[in-house]
Structure formats: C-alpha cells, structure tokens
A and B are shown apart, each in its own frame.
Chain A
Amino acid sequence: MVIASTTSTQNSGLFDVLIPAYEKSSKYGVKVEIVAVGTGRALRLAKKGEADMLFVHDPFREEKFVAEGYGVNRRTVMHNTFIVLGPKKDPAGIREAKKAVDAFELIAESGSPFVSRGDDSGTNIRELDIWDDAGINPKGKGWYFETGGKMGDTLLVADEKDAYTLCDKGTYLNYEKKIGLKVLFQGDPLLKNQYSVIAVNPDRFPTARYREAMEFIAFVTSPEGQQIIAAYVKHGSRLFSPDAVPSVIRN
C-alpha cells in the first residue's frame, strides 16, 4: 500500500515506529510504502491514482480533495504547532506580538529578511495564509526569500541570513542545536498544524487498496495507534498530540 505523506512526519521519525506497529497488526499482511513529498505534491499524486491514501496537513485543500470526490473517510489524527523563528536580537520586535498576523505585519513593516519555503508544502501554504490574513503580498519584496526547498535547508538559509521563518516544531527540535535562530512567537490558534489521513475513493480509483487504507485509518485512530503517537518523544518533547483519542495522554 502506498501512502503519500508530508515530509515532516517522515523526517520526524514517527513513521519509523508507527508503520512497523501497523504492519505487525495488519490482518491483510500489508507492506507500507511511504512516498514522502510536500502536501501539494502528495495531493496531486493521489489525484492521479498513484497513492492508496494520504497523510497530510492542509485542512482546506484536504476538504476540497474530498469534496471533489477523490478521497473518502478523512480523519484527523494528530497535531503539533508551527512556530515563528528569528534572530535572537529580534529586529522586528515580534516577541511582543499578540497574534501571528501581527508578528508577520511587524516583520514586513521593519523589512527584516524572511525566508519562505516557497514549495507548495503544507508549511508554505500556512505561511501564505498568514500573509494573506495580514493583507500583505510578500512575493517579490527585497526582504522575502524563497528557497523552494525542504524545511531543514530553509532553516539553514534563514540562520545564515539572520532571517525570520515559519517552521514546524518537530523540524526545529532537530535543528535547535545547529542554528542560532530562536523561537520568537508561538501559541496562536492559526499556528496549529493539523494532520489527517484520507483514503483514496475506490469509486474513482477501482484499483486502489481501499480495504488496506481503511485498516490503516482504523489503526492510527485507535487507542493503540494514538498511544504510539502520544509516546513519541524527541529531545525531551512530545512531537505530536493525538486528536482521534486525546484521552490516551491522561491514561
């Protein structure tokens, strides 16, 4: 079974524990193949019928994907947060910001460098949404840099340029020791990073492995699967909070 997934879940290492646990429990003897690409490309792959299910983080486009009849049975699995990173000196003064939109406005007003992934990934889309809410079009501005690359590469560029950037918490924890950037803003509900699974619609793609996809969805949203997600700790922090069975944290 092919799962088209976002790169952040793959890079975080969560799949290294979650996938083997699922394969062991599978009644169909499923072997999972992960195609780790940005959310934008994952959705495109699935629309061509080249994946059996999705594990992605862009709620708006996911809903559209389902509404257009490409996918069925979307379930939210877990979330973590996006954070705004920047140089310790914080030239735009976003530490004082109340909302993510305000933080972005401050960056634009001060003309401080901002590094974007510019790659159509879930993180990139969220960043553009925030600019949109702030009524700012950063494209083509002298302080706005687009790397077109992965989160890790983008962090290195931002670090070198003493720039601000939007990052998922998991990737930041991996790079925390290598870079000088600090977490300058977090906590806005707009920065919630929601991951979902969707099965590809068997009516549209008769050769898709629908039963296997549904078995996987059942597994990751079961107390057992959610417990694995809740227990996944890196650098002393839980990376993802389970959403399907949140009570596993309290047990």
Chain B
Amino acid sequence: MNSIIESFSRAVSLILNLDKELWGIIFLSVEVSGTALVAATLLGLPAAAFLGFKRFPLRGAVVSILNTFMGLPPVAVGLFLYLLLSRSGPLGFLSLLYTPTAMIIAQTILAFPIVTCLSHSAIVSVDPIIRQASMTLGATQFQVSLSVIREARYGIISAVIAGLGRVMAEVGAILIVGGNILGFTRVMTTTIAMETDKGNFELALALGIILLSISLLINLTLYFVQKRGAAGAAR
C-alpha cells in the first residue's frame, strides 16, 4: 500500500515538473487523436445521415456490419494497416509506415464506426413529427434532413464523445503503425506501455493521470455545451 502512495506522490511531482520531451509527447497525442476524431466525424456524420434518411437494399446489413466494427480490436486494425503500408505492401510507395499520418488513419478507422452508429441511432430516434412538420411547411429533402440532425445534435455530441474515448485510450494500433519512436510517433499511451515495461511506474502513472485529466477536460466542455443547448431547447 505504501508503495502505491509513494508512486502517486512521485507521479504528482513529475507532473509539476514536466520537461520538453513530455510536452512533445502530450501534444502529439492530442494532435493525432484530435485529427482522427475530426476526420471520423466528417466522414461519419454524412454516413449516419445517409443511413438514417435513405432507404436502399442491404441497408440493415450495412448497419449491422458497422455495429460490429464498433468493437474492432485495435491490434487487428494496426496489423492490417501495417501490412498495407509496409514497404512490401500495396501502399508501401507512400512511405507512411511509422509516421503520425499512419497513426491518424488507424484511429480514424477505429472511431468511424462508433461516431457513425451512435449518430445514426440518434437520428432515427428523432420524433417523426419533426420530419412531417417540416415537410408540411414545404421544406426540401435537404432542409428536412438538416432540421432532423439539428434535433439529434445532443445524441451526436455523445457519439463524438464516445469516439474520443476510443481514440485517446487506444494503444494497440498506434504502437504497430507508429513504432513509438521518440520525438516522432511516441504518444502518451505508447509511453505508458513502454515505461511500465521498463519498470518506471511513476512516469507511467504520471502520464496516466495527465491522459485522464485531458479526457475529463474535453468531456466536461462537451457536457456543458450539451447542457446549455438542452436548457435552451426547453425554453
């Protein structure tokens, strides 16, 4: 028990004295996961709207497949991308392996099904009256879609938060395609795994606390956005 308390207090003093190298690692984490989340949202939201508004054959199958992909194992995604991007692979000419771009691609693949599926269920659970009302008011198909998405926005924010949780915590895929190279592709989660391996538990713990704090900060921000919006809608 004492050693846990000791580790924690040393971790806190490490956080208070962050060096340049650690700042770089934290910044790269936010950059990679943030970019991946934006990309997943830009791709996932139109996909969710398409699934929600259009009727086409095999639509149910597509939704089921996306639902399954919400649980994609990160290491499997990492391995698949590795084979694709490695020099002997089909996309090897792009020289993307062991770069932050490869890490962003991996995390986008992981977050896309989550953002899409959860946004889709938010869109389909909007009261059909909204749709009918805007249609009677003479709105075009596009305007109808917009008003439905507007109505579903809090569910969509939750979808983005879930996607964020996925990418910030992820280590399996980015370790494989990023290579954990110091100053280039080393991020918080890969550093935690490595330092634990080396027995530097204090540093690993310090990074874990920072990682949690960043996630908490983002979640709180989105929560307040959501809450203010909900209060506004009720008025």
Binding site for B on A (CB under 8 A): 37-38, 40-41, 44-45, 118-120, 140, 145-149, 153, 157, 160-161
Given the complex, which residues of A lie within 8 Å of B190, measured CB to CB?
A: 148
B98 at the A interface (CB under 8 A)? yes
In angstroms, how far is the closest chain A Cβ from the Cβ of B28?
A: 14
B46 at the A interface (CB under 8 A)? no
Q: Is the CB of A147 within 8 A of B198?
A: no
Given the complex, which residues of B lie within 8 Å of A118, measured CB to CB?
A: 182
B227 at the A interface (CB under 8 A)? no
Give the distance in Å from the alpha carbon of A37 to the alpha carbon of B200 in the complex: 13
Given the complex, which residues of B lie within 8 Å of A119, measured CB to CB?
A: 194, 197-198
Known: A45-B199, A119-B198, A120-B198. A160 touches B181 (CB 8 A): no
Q: Is the CB of B197 within 8 A of A145?
A: no
B180 at the A interface (CB under 8 A)? yes
Given the complex, which residues of A lie within 8 Å of B86, measured CB to CB?
A: 160
Between A41, A44, A45, A149, the greatest number of chain B beta carbons within 10 A of the residue's beta carbon is seen for: A149
Give the distance in Å from the alpha carbon of A41 to the alpha carbon of B184 in the complex: 25
Q: Is the CB of B186 within 8 A of A148?
A: yes
Given the complex, which residues of B lie within 8 Å of A153, measured CB to CB?
A: 179
Binding site for A on B (CB under 8 A): 86-87, 97-98, 179-184, 186, 190-191, 194, 197-199
Given the complex, which residues of A lie within 8 Å of B98, measured CB to CB?
A: 157, 160-161
In angstroms, how far is the closest chain A Cβ from the Cβ of B111?
A: 25
Overall SS of chain B's interface:
loop
Please, which residue of chain B has its CB at the minimum distance from the CB of A139?
B182
| A37-B199, A147-B180, A148-B182 known, 16 other contacts, Cβ within 8 Å | A41-B197, A41-B199, A119-B197, A120-B198, A145-B181, A146-B182, A147-B179, A147-B181, A147-B182, A148-B190, A148-B191, A149-B194, A153-B179, A160-B86, A160-B87, A161-B98
24 contacts between A and B (CB under 8 A): A37-B199, A38-B198, A40-B198, A41-B199, A44-B199, A45-B199, A120-B198, A140-B183, A145-B182, A145-B184, A146-B181, A146-B183, A147-B179, A147-B180, A147-B182, A148-B180, A148-B186, A148-B194, A149-B180, A149-B194, A157-B181, A160-B86, A160-B87, A161-B98
Given the complex, which residues of A lie within 8 Å of B183, measured CB to CB?
A: 140, 146
In angstroms, how far is the closest chain B Cβ from the Cβ of A199?
A: 21
Give the distance in Å from the alpha carbon of A41 to the alpha carbon of B194 in the complex: 12
Given the complex, which residues of B lie within 8 Å of A157, measured CB to CB?
A: 98, 179, 181
Give the distance in Å from the alpha carbon of A161 to the alpha carbon of B179 in the complex: 11
Give the distance in Å from the alpha carbon of A44 to the alpha carbon of B198 in the complex: 9
Number of A-B residue pairs having CB atoms within 8 Å of each other in the complex: 45
Given the complex, which residues of A lie within 8 Å of B198, measured CB to CB?
A: 38, 40-41, 119-120
Given the complex, which residues of A lie within 8 Å of B197, measured CB to CB?
A: 37-38, 41, 119
Please, which residue of chain A has its CB at the minimum distance from the CB of B82?
A156
Between B86, B98, B179, B184, the greatest number of chain A beta carbons within 10 A of the residue's beta carbon is seen for: B179
Please, which residue of chain A has its CB at the minimum distance from the CB of B179?
A157
Give the distance in Å from the alpha carbon of A149 to the alpha carbon of B183 in the complex: 14
In angstroms, how far is the closest chain A Cβ from the Cβ of B6?
A: 13
Given the complex, which residues of A lie within 8 Å of B186, measured CB to CB?
A: 148
In angstroms, how far is the closest chain A Cβ from the Cβ of B197?
A: 7
Please, which residue of chain A has its CB at the minimum distance from the CB of B176?
A153
Given the complex, which residues of B lie within 8 Å of A161, measured CB to CB?
A: 98
Give the distance in Å from the alpha carbon of A86 to the alpha carbon of B12 in the complex: 42
Please, which residue of chain A has its CB at the minimum distance from the CB of B86?
A160
Give the distance in Å from the alpha carbon of A148 to the alpha carbon of B87 in the complex: 22
Give the distance in Å from the alpha carbon of A148 to the alpha carbon of B184 in the complex: 12
Given the complex, which residues of B lie within 8 Å of A149, measured CB to CB?
A: 179-180, 194
Between B183, B186, B191, the greatest number of chain A beta carbons within 10 A of the residue's beta carbon is seen for: B183
In angstroms, how far is the closest chain B Cβ from the Cβ of A83?
A: 22
Please, which residue of chain B has its CB at the minimum distance from the CB of A142?
B183
Given the complex, which residues of B lie within 8 Å of A45, measured CB to CB?
A: 199
In angstroms, how far is the closest chain B Cβ from the Cβ of A231?
A: 32
Going nearest first, the 4 A-B pairs with the smallest beta carbon separation are A146-B182, A41-B199, A148-B194, A157-B179
Give the distance in Å from the alpha carbon of A43 to the alpha carbon of B210 in the complex: 29
In angstroms, how far is the closest chain A Cβ from the Cβ of B10?
A: 15
Give the distance in Å from the alpha carbon of A41 to the alpha carbon of B198 in the complex: 6
Known: A145-B181, A145-B182, A148-B182. A160 touches B97 (CB 8 A): yes
